[in-house]
Chains A and B, each alone.
Chain A
Amino acid sequence: MSAVQIAFAAGLAGVLVALLASTALVVHKGLAGGSLDRLGIRRATENSGARRVAFYVHRLTGVGVFAFLCLHILDVGLFTLSHRLYDQVQELYGTAELRVFECLLLLAVLFHAGNGLRLLLFDLGLLDSAASKSALGVVAAATGAAGIAGSVFILAPVFK
């Protein structure tokens, strides 16, 4: 592995550590209870059951995707310095390990996007509390279906 590839691998490890640490913090604080909605726009009924879990998953997928975004902007930034360095890191994205990571990233982005749109529709008054509850089921199912379909494409070259 070249120096820039080792740096990328270390960065990716940092992303995963940041995600694990955030998960520990969010779960710890979540179990202790507390105000979830600082904005005060969402009604309290949103803060129960599966939708409460969705709140935490939304937050943690957000942290995880943002952590990866930081690393991704840095690796794309190599393009400014040298095409050779950029291509060295790019090679890693095609490895089996990174492809598994990309599948998890896709799942995280899909859930975060779907759930975010659900919250927007709820806040705009287009979904009532019951509809918002069913919409979460739709978001979960769509995340699973699109995530699996995308993963088949992403992982296919590994098995060729």
Chain B
Amino acid sequence: MNVLTGDSERDRPGRPAAWELDPPPTAAPEEERSRLLEYVVLRATGVLLAVLVLGHFAVTHLVTDVAHDNSAFVARRLSSGLWIAWDSTMLGAALVHGVTGLRIATADYLLDTRARRIAEVSILALGAVLLVIGSLAIGRAAVA
């Protein structure tokens, strides 16, 4: 398998691809459900972020040049309910999406259950700390 050209062993008839050799592990029903929930959360926040993040980028780079995004600009922008709602939703969705995506991605490389558990808890803790820091900043700007 060449990742750059995309040449796959599957393309050669009669030879199974590498990922076909090992049957996927069968998951317990409750694990299936949590995977489905995780999948729906990842996609739903993803659609939301496609709008919120690109809108955020447009406002902070195209509408106003990034050189003028100082604390006065933040205080002015965050005096509007629309932007408080926008930034709060974006913060929450981005962290949920990032934590979920990173959890799925790291699990692909950590075969040991304990190592996977440690990674999961660390990623979740990082997300929780960032949520607090981000919320405090939005709250501070909203009341300023």
Q: Give the chain A neighbours of B98 by CB distance below 8 A.
A: 62, 65-66, 69
Residue A6 is within 8 A (CB to CB) of chain B in the complex: no
Question: B43 contacts A31, CB within 8 Å?
Answer: no
Question: B6 contacts A79, CB within 8 Å?
Answer: no
Contacting residue for A33 out of B1, B43, B47, B61, CB 8 A: B1
Contacting residue for B61 out of A48, A80, A120, A153, CB 8 A: A153
The winner among B53, B107, B126 for most chain A CB atoms within 10 A is B53
Question: B69 contacts A48, CB within 8 Å?
Answer: no
Considering the chains assembled together, what is the distance between the CA atoms of A113 and B101 in angstroms? 13
For the side of the interface on A, what is the size category? Answer: 35 or more
Interface of A is mostly: helix
Considering the chains assembled together, what is the distance between the CA atoms of A29 and B6 in angstroms? 15
Q: Give the chain B neighbours of A113 by CB distance below 8 A.
A: 46, 49-50, 53-54
Considering the chains assembled together, what is the distance between the CA atoms of A6 and B19 in angstroms? 45
Instruction: Assess A59 versus B109: contact at CB under 8 Å? Given A53-B3, A76-B134.
Output: no
